[in-house]
Amino acid sequence: MEFNSELMKKFSNCFSPSGRENNIRNLIKEEIKDYVDELTTDPLGNLIARKKGNGKKILFSAHMDQIGLIITHVDEKGFLRFSNVGGLHPKELLGLRMIFDNNLEGVICSEELKDKEKLTMSKLYLDVASTSVDFVKNNFQIGDMCVFKSEYYETEDCVICKAADDRIGCYILIEALKNHPATDNDIYYVFSVQEEVGCRGAKTAGYGINPDIAIALDVTATGDSPDGIKMDVKLGGGAAIKLMDKSLITHPQVKELLTNLSIENNIKYQYEVLEFGGTDSGAIHMTRTGVPSGVISIPTRNIHSSGEIFNKNDVLECIKLTISITKS
């Protein structure tokens, strides 16, 4: 299986911050419509692709939304104030280029500060490069969202792009769907909305589907960068089987299942304990009477930045593991 760079590039460049997942949903629909038995969109906007069967109900979830900014105020001089949609730190925003759905752009600037350490979101503004206040007022308004602008780039083994969180999870689900094996299991591939603002889509999708087991596909942090956080996950180490994060303690039986499948199918894997963050499985495992849940994580550096980095081989291992679950 080759890494489909064209598809991932298209996904990464697709404008779809939380609550505005229309573009990516259409893109994914187009990509998978010939491979599924049933394709529905639930009331919150989750795209649910089903491969029917009479066996176990398995839910896979990858979120379609990406982090971004939302305009809160357009001032009299034509500068835009904003708030974050999803987890962003003001210090990491300064100087970044942002792009809107209509392809207009801006750059994030700061008011003059004596102490840059005290930078807060309220001191930042977006300069959309126009001296005409009318132009600004006609083209931007409260509630408009924008996302990072950055180019997709790849080397022999790794990719740098924005929104790898979690378009790479969507990518993995699509590859698994295209290579769906013969199985009795009833499989739901969920492309969820609004994960970045609190795993909202997954909560309703989990309730609606009421599965026997749930597996999220999402990115996780790594401990392999200079003087970085202390954790054992690394790029190139294979699919990461999550054992705990702030939203989930992986069900012991799911841990065992994923471990055994990896060993049986010669899938390169590593265990992950993340001391922060959460995924769709955090929401799904608490729906109704509970759902035994786990996560296959894609080791990713610089999560929530405009240059997230992952390893293509890790992605292939994640695809293999996902496929092996569908027939388990």
Partner 1 sequence: MIKNFLFEVCSNHYVSGYEHTNGNILKKYFQPYTDSFEEDNIGSYIFKSTGTNSTKIMLAAHSDEIGLMITSILDNGFLRFTSVGGINAASLVAQDIIIYGKESIFGVIGIKPPHLTPEEEREKPLKTKDLFIDTGLSKKELEKKVSIGDIAVIKRQPLALQNSIISSRQLDDKAGIAVMLVVAHELKKISHNSNIYYAATAQEETGCRGSATASYKINPDIGIVLDVGFGLTPDMPPETASLGKGPAVAIGGRFNPKLTKKFIEVCKQYNYEFQYEASPSSSGTDTESLQINREGIPCILLSIPLRYMHTSVETIDLKDIETTGKAIARFINEIDNSDLEEILCF
Contact between residue 27 and residue 10 where contact means Cβ atoms under 8 Å apart: yes
**264: contact with partner 1 by CB under 8 A:** no
Please identify, among the stretches 39-47, 113-121, 127-135, 269-277, the one whose residues bind partner 1 according to the rule CB under 8 A. Answer: 269-277
Answer for which of 38, 75, 157, 275 binds partner 1 (CB under 8 A) is 275
What burial class does residue 198 get, using C-beta atoms within 10 Å of its C-beta: 0-12 exposed, 13-18 middle, 19+ buried?
A: middle
**286: contact with partner 1 by CB under 8 A:** yes
Which C-beta is closer to partner 1: that of 80 or that of 261?
A: 261
Answer for which of 271, 277, 302, 307 binds partner 1 (CB under 8 A) is 271
Q: What is the smallest separation between the CB atom of 42 and partner 1, expressed in angstroms? A: 20
Answer for which of 285, 301, 304, 320 binds partner 1 (CB under 8 A) is 285
Find the binding residues for partner 1 in span 86-115 (CB under 8 A): none
Which C-beta is closer to partner 1: that of 119 or that of 254?
A: 254
Which C-beta is closer to partner 1: that of 96 or that of 243?
A: 243
Answer for which of 55, 87, 181, 290 binds partner 1 (CB under 8 A) is 290
Which C-beta is closer to partner 1: that of 293 or that of 324?
A: 293
Q: What is the smallest separation between the CB atom of 35 and partner 1, expressed in angstroms? A: 30
Q: What is the smallest separation between the CB atom of 216 and partner 1, expressed in angstroms? A: 15
Q: Give the torsion sign (CA, 83, 88, 94, 95).
A: negative
**200: contact with partner 1 by CB under 8 A:** no
Q: What is the smallest separation between the CB atom of 209 and partner 1, expressed in angstroms? A: 14
Contact between residue 66 and residue 17 where contact means Cβ atoms under 8 Å apart: yes
Q: What is the smallest separation between the CB atom of 258 and partner 1, expressed in angstroms? A: 11
Q: Among 61, 37, 18, 8, which Cα is nearest to 279's?
A: 61
Q: Among 65, 123, 129, which Cα is nearest to 97's?
A: 129
Give the tokens for residue 160: 């740098």
Q: What is the smallest separation between the CB atom of 252 and partner 1, expressed in angstroms? A: 7
**288: contact with partner 1 by CB under 8 A:** yes
Could you give the C-alpha distances from 188 to 61, 125, 131, 318, in angstroms and in order? 8, 42, 50, 17
Contact between residue 292 and residue 254 where contact means Cβ atoms under 8 Å apart: yes
Catalytic residues: 195
**273: contact with partner 1 by CB under 8 A:** yes
Find the binding residues for partner 1 in span 223-262 (CB under 8 A): 223, 230-232, 243-244, 247, 249-252, 255
**71: contact with partner 1 by CB under 8 A:** no
Please identify, among the stretches 45-53, 92-100, 103-111, 268-276, the one whose residues bind partner 1 according to the rule CB under 8 A. Answer: 268-276
Residues that bind partner 1 (CB under 8 A): 223, 230-232, 243-244, 247, 249-252, 255, 271-273, 275, 285-286, 288-292
